[in-house]
Amino acid sequence: MGDELDRRVVLQGAAAAGVVGVLGAGGPGGGQAASPAVFISHGSPMVALDSDAYPQALRRFGDGAPARALVVVSAHWETPGEVRVTASAQPPLIHDFYGFPEPLYRLRYGAPGAPSLAEDVVARLKAGGLPAVADAERGLDHGAWVPLLHAFPQAKLPVVQVSMPLGANPADIARMGELLRPLRAQGVLLMGSGGIVHNLRRLNFHEKAASVEPWAAAFDAWIAQKLAARDFTGAQAWLDAPNARLAHPRAEHLMPLYFVLGAALPEDRLTPVFEGFHHGTLSMRSFALCA
- Flag whether pLDDT at 56 surpasses 70: yes
What's the average model confidence in pLDDT over 10-21? 42
What's the average model confidence in pLDDT over 9-24? 44
Torsion of CA 118, 124, 126, 128, to 10 degrees: -150
Lowest mean pLDDT among 11-25, 102-116, 117-131, 145-159: 11-25
Q: What is the pLDDT of residues 91-136, one digit of tens each?
A: 999 999 999 999 999 999 999 999 999 999 999 999 999 999 999 9
132 bridge partner residues: 83
Whether 252 and 75 have beta carbons less than 8 Å apart is answered as yes
Assigned domain for 69 exists: yes
pLDDT for the residue numbered 13? 40
Assigned domain for 25 exists: no
- Flag whether pLDDT at 145 surpasses 60: yes
- Flag whether pLDDT at 280 surpasses 50: yes
CA separation for the pair 10, 13 (Å, rounded): 5
22 versus 199: the higher-pLDDT residue is 199
Q: What is the pLDDT of residues 185-236, one digit of tens each?
A: 999 999 999 999 999 999 999 999 999 999 999 999 999 999 999 999 999 9
* Mean pLDDT value across the chain: 92
Strand, coil or helix: 141: coil
**Band of the pLDDT at 32, cuts 50, 70, 90?**
low
Q: Is the whole-model pTM more than 0.85?
A: yes
- Flag whether pLDDT at 31 surpasses 70: no
DSSP 74-133: EEEEEESSSEEEE--SSPPB-----S--HHHHT--------HHHHHHHHHHHHHTT--EE
Residue 160, domain CATH: 3.40.830.10
Give the CA radius of gyration of the chain. 18
Residue 158: CB atoms within 10 A of its CB come to 22
Whether 65 and 35 have beta carbons less than 8 Å apart is answered as yes
Assigned domain for 90 exists: yes
Assigned domain for 28 exists: no
Q: Which helix (H) or strand (E) holds 181?
A: none
Assigned domain for 13 exists: no
pLDDT for the residue numbered 23? 59
Tally of domains within the chain: 1
Which residue range(s) make up the domain with 258? 37-290
Percentage of the chain surpassing pLDDT 70? 89
Assigned domain for 29 exists: no
pLDDT for the residue numbered 33? 79
What's the average model confidence in pLDDT over 247-261? 98
**Band of the pLDDT at 67, cuts 50, 70, 90?**
very high
What's the average model confidence in pLDDT over 27-46? 83
**Band of the pLDDT at 139, cuts 50, 70, 90?**
very high
Assigned domain for 30 exists: no
Strands 159-165 and 69-79, sheet pairing:
parallel
Assigned domain for 112 exists: yes
